[in-house]
Structure 1
Amino acid sequence: MAFTVTTGATGRLGGRIAARLAAAGVEQRLVSRNAGRVPSLDRATAVSADYGDPEAMRRALDKATTVLFVSASESADRLDRHRAFVDAARDAGATHLVYISFYGASPSATFTLARDHWATEQHIRDSGLPFTFLRDSLYADFLPSMAGDDGVIRGPAGQGRVAAVAQDDIADAATAVLLDPSAHEGATYDLTGPQALTLDEVAATLSRTTGRTITYHPETVEEAYESRRSYDAPGWQVEAWVSTYLAIAAGELEGVSDAIPVLTGHPGTTFEQLVGNI
């Protein structure tokens, strides 16, 4: 029997996709590090497995056809875990891998984690597995959390722009691909919002829609590292945080694609529409 393996089913994105596939009547195996937290969905079974456990992953992926590969949570060994997952999918005989990547994935990307996404894509290509890559821009849903308790968004983004994308739009696009994977074999889709905004414009939109005064302070790189020192985070993580803003400043996240409307049949959600419904 053909079935889809859906990873990240307890997360914000994987959970949305799993729910849409269930509504479409798809047989699913929902893989999570904690199967007890997986939502109860029609025609879905939950399996516990971690990306870093090849044997458990091979069992979880056994006899799968299409596999949704939601990238692992950020960690120092994330790329190693990604490669182990891809190898497990290949060894289990998966027939198509749909990978949630990142916009502008490249070995020279300013955003450090986009380099890991590119390396993951290359490992998938080298594995011989049929694939589709969904390269998401920054999640528009997370932009409001950039503002601190004082209502200020701080970062070295200058006046660069970002075409942030709504998670519901990503989920709709991913579902369309998963329902007909062969039609998208070998394709790479850039998933963006319908407009590219500066962080000043993001702040103004948040102020207008929430009634809270939000502003943007364009930090220098030195200020950005200093202002994040209090989090006591590892160096790689702080670099990832800061490089997100630097990628915006460099113009690497300003592109607007038509992939959302092409794949879903509906226009992309604007940031104002999104925050107006939060």
Structure 2
Amino acid sequence: MPNNLPPLAVTGATGALGGMVAQLLAEQGIPLRLLARHTARVPQQPDTPTFAVSYADKEHAERALRGTQTLFMVSAAENPYRAQDQRTFVDAAVDAGVRHIVYTSFMGASENDVFTLGRDHWDTEQYIRERGLEFTFLRDAFYQDILPSFVGRDGVIRGPAGDGRFAPVARTDVARAAARILADPVPHARRTYTLTGPQTLSMSEVAEILSRVTGQHITYYAESLDEAVESRLAAGASQWQALAWATSYAAIATGEMDRVSDDIAELTGTAPVSLEDYLRSDGKSSS
């Protein structure tokens, strides 16, 4: 493999976040290499090498990362083995000589996180630390663009969020923050940023906003945690999926998501967009 490859690598290049970050960096003229599970879907950019990589395949990942100094590591797709796959990928990065990982984590990630998948993010954060790498952790709130998918066919959002509040963030704002860090990563080493939208909302308020924007009548029904798990299992989800879905709402109910951070504005110089403005913008269709 040539040793003159760009020292910056971006994973998830075919995904919404990785793709946006890659585009923002390319627009600045920053050389980079793109990693994705399926390179055929990677947007073609001049003089930009691409590599097919699975987080679970250490050998191929290590080859793709050789010569990389800074790695933007988008968290893997949700699956029961994500924590272990991400450890394997971190091992590949270490063996390839990567010095700094910028990792997309989740707000409030901890060993005993109510949100089961938040525990995976905490595990990956800790493993990156243990392996001696420089790191920057981006602890994202829930993405604004996924909220419309929470609405059932009957126009009801169901989940055990209670009256808890959270500050959903536009993926475009996360991408702007990540690109700013990756363009000059050294000042951000050993930093953890919490990336949120500009306001906290209850799930009932989310339903009201979606109603205004779509013209549909959308409401929220607060399930119990047991009800939420059972309904998801009845819809065909596996046990780990049902728990992940239900506990994502439960994390809101406990109050651990009830926080607005200024990190996006401080990193980019521009305040994050509100949920309603995001949904009404052209960005809705592109994300």
Q: Which residue identity lines up with residue 73 of structure 2 in the other structure? A: F
Shift of 1:42: 3.5
Show the 5 A alignment for 1:1-278.
Answer: 1=4, 2-277=6-281, 278=284
Q: Which residue identity lines up with residue 108 of structure 1 in the other structure? A: N
Contiguous gaps of at least 5 residues in structure 1: none
The two structures have a TM-score, normalised by structure 1, of 0.98
Q: Which residue identity lines up with residue 262 of structure 2 in the other structure? A: D
Once the two structures are superposed, what CA deviation does each residue of 1:178-211 show, in whole Å capped at 9, x if it has no partner? 0010010000000011101001100000111111
SS in 1 for 2:49: strand
Shift of 1:168: 0.2
Shift of 1:226: 2.4
Shift of 1:212: 1.1
In 1, Cα distance between the equivalents of 2:35 and 2:119?
25
What's the Cα RMSD here?
A: 1.0
Paired residues, what number? 278
In 1, Cα distance between the equivalents of 2:239 and 2:49?
38
Shift of 1:225: 1.8
In 1, Cα distance between the equivalents of 2:26 and 2:88?
27
Shift of 1:234: 1.6
CA contact 1:22–1:42 (8 Å) conserved in 2: no
CA contact 1:172–1:264 (8 Å) conserved in 2: yes
Shift of 1:236: 1.0
Q: Which residue identity lines up with residue 210 of structure 1 in the other structure? A: T
Shift of 1:227: 1.8
In 2, Cα distance between the equivalents of 1:231 and 1:87?
37
Once the two structures are superposed, what CA deviation does each residue of 1:30-89 show, in whole Å capped at 9, x if it has no partner? 111111111112331211110000000000101011100000001111011000011111
Q: Which residue identity lines up with residue 140 of structure 2 in the other structure? A: D
Once the two structures are superposed, what CA deviation does each residue of 1:2-37 show, in whole Å capped at 9, x if it has no partner? 431100011111111111111111111111111111
Shift of 1:264: 0.8
SS in 1 for 2:35: strand
Once the two structures are superposed, what CA deviation does each residue of 1:90-139 show, in whole Å capped at 9, x if it has no partner? 11001211000010010111001111101100000011111110000111
SS in 2 for 1:101: strand
The two structures have a TM-score, normalised by structure 2, of 0.95
SS in 2 for 1:228: helix
CA contact 1:97–1:130 (8 Å) conserved in 2: yes
In 1, Cα distance between the equivalents of 2:220 and 2:46?
44
Q: Which residue identity lines up with residue 8 of structure 1 in the other structure? A: G
Once the two structures are superposed, what CA deviation does each residue of 1:138-185 show, in whole Å capped at 9, x if it has no partner? 111111110011110000111001111100000000001000100100
4+ long deviations beyond 3 Å: none
CA contact 2:225–2:247 (8 Å) conserved in 1: no
